[in-house]
Amino acid sequence: MEKLKKMAKKSTGERLEFNNFSDVTIEHLHRYAIANDFVKNKIVLDIASGEGYGSFILSKNASKVIGVDIDNETVFDAQEKYSKNNLSFLVGSADNIPLETNSIDVVVSFETIEHHDKHEEMFLEIKRVLKPNGVLIMSSPDKKYYSDIPRFKNKFHVKELYSDEFENLVNKHFDFAKFYVQKAYNLNSIISNLLDFNKLKIYSGNQAEVGSIENNHLYILTIASNSKVDDLPTSIFNGSEIYKMIREFDLNKKNNEIKNTSSYKIGNVIIQPFFFIKKMFK
């Protein structure tokens, strides 16, 4: 595969990159953890593979993973950062996937469909590259809870879908589909069917007062195929490892900020001769 030429990296903040951790990090990792259970010894396509970490995770179980992204710079960086014999990254779009027909066992696409309005074309391309009994694992923000209720506008989103619109689109193209919802709380993500999710009672508070809070999902997740698909159990992603990374990142940032202060630099200049003299008499 021909490698792309390096260009100046421009981060918009919309793609998940592992230098800025939040609940979004956990949400994505939870989805890839579930997808990982479906890809053992399979050929996998990751649409909108972005930074490449998800494709890399899947490549540890899959026989082959192809990450496709529309952005040249992003694909180049993924090629450089994640180099494995069974992992490759290509430039392409959701409605124009640069792969052969019936060549893929599992298609993964997380937080992609809302970034364009060619939804029908995307599903036709997914069906084209999938093998007859291949599996699609896809997520999408639920417009009602992601945008409408909080009155939030994501400038990167072109066409968000309500849950029924998303389900109708999936069911139009696949004979069998299961649907789930997702929400992250303080670096812990929950994925469940809607019925069980609505039964969950979430508490919050402090030493002065505790109480229940409203529990609305943000994302919809589907497992779809032309063969029957099993139900997913309710699952939780424990974000403790990411929390450790956040603490380490914040500590390093704080130390660097201290080292850049005038008082630290002056003190360092003053104390250096004493270290030099100490070494001479050792």
Q: Which token pair is 149?
A: 């209720």
pLDDT, one tens digit per residue, over 7-64 is 344 444 455 555 566 789 899 999 999 999 999 999 999 999 999 999 999 999 999 9
Q: Which token pair is 250?
A: 């914040």
The total of other beta-carbon atoms located within 10 Å of residue 204's CB is: 11
pLDDT, one tens digit per residue, over 150-177 is 999 999 999 999 999 999 999 999 999 9
Q: How far apart are CA 165 and CA 157, in angstroms?
A: 16
pLDDT, one tens digit per residue, over 243-273 is 898 888 766 665 665 556 555 445 455 555 5
Q: How far apart are CA 104 and CA 127, in angstroms?
A: 10
Strand partners, 66: 45, 88
Q: How far apart are CA 93 and CA 209, in angstroms?
A: 50
